[in-house]
A = this chain, B = another copy of it.
């Protein structure tokens, strides 16, 4: 059940443009303070001329530096992102290109399960590392949400930010104990249309974009239905995640949740009885950065010194799909 895998470096990148909640209050003609009260987000970052692959490459360079390795040591690049930079080719190939590794031959592929893409990518990579397929894998998540926000839907548009994060993983050296202890995911597509962007793929090609159809090409969500379905499913999901482990909530040094929204995180923490001292919350600083939110929060938690080698960490969240996913690892 365990997979030998050690996170040897993490990194992150946010675009240079900071967007404060009071700016959105003004933009959306809302009373001052409404955006922050409603979302729990004080600042978020929006790209100006940065591309997702550029951001991902900056985060990757940061992670590689922290890991004390060189880019040439990487033997696989995985993008775990819920957004794509362009329909063809995959994000990971564009990131390889941005890293100047264009003739390296390093295999590149994308994993996508929207906001849980990083967790799923790391989960898959743990099997590849454990089996000896690769020695040093770079997992990169880079998300641009700001191009797809629908400001007619105030409650969703104020939540999101852009950003990237990356981790470098290797097989755990002998005599060390870093490992993935368990992971689990469940998908309930009864909620497939509770949060979606329906236009932009093969169902509604970009040529169908016009004034009447523009909402299809922007993010929409029904927060009430998402909360109702996920609240019902979370407790049994957690039982499954912890099944066959001897781990309880109090054994975790940090629980790093998807930073979905202030309210979603309160519900998650309460439903799962996650103690305050372990619950990692940085939504105020970055907003919901889609799949980047978990690795950004993980990076910050590691950088702060809160997580030490030997500590147990849980990653957990819900995503469009509707999916619930989690992983427990020993750092």
Contacts and interface: CB of A to CB of B under 8 A. Distances in A.
A112 B113 contact: no
Contacts of A185: 107, 109
Interface string A1-21: 001000000000000000000
Interface stretch (A63-71, A189-197, A309-317): A189-197
Interface stretch (A80-88, A165-173, A255-263): A80-88
A51 B204 CA distance: 10
A197 B88 contact: yes
A206 B206 contact: yes
B52 A86 contact: no
Contacts of A111: 109-112
How many monomers of this chain does the complex have? 2
Contacts of A219: 88
Contact of A127 (B83, B127, B217, B320): B127
Contacts of A201: 52, 83-87, 200
A130 interface: yes
Interface in A102-159: 102-114, 120, 124, 127-128, 130-131, 133, 144, 147-148
Interface stretch (A92-100, A278-286, A293-301): A92-100
28 contacts: A51-B202, A51-B203, A83-B201, A84-B201, A86-B197, A86-B199, A87-B201, A88-B195, A88-B197, A89-B114, A89-B195, A89-B320, A90-B113, A90-B114, A90-B320, A93-B321, A93-B323, A97-B189, A102-B190, A103-B190, A105-B233, A107-B187, A107-B325, A108-B113, A108-B187, A110-B111, A110-B113, A144-B202
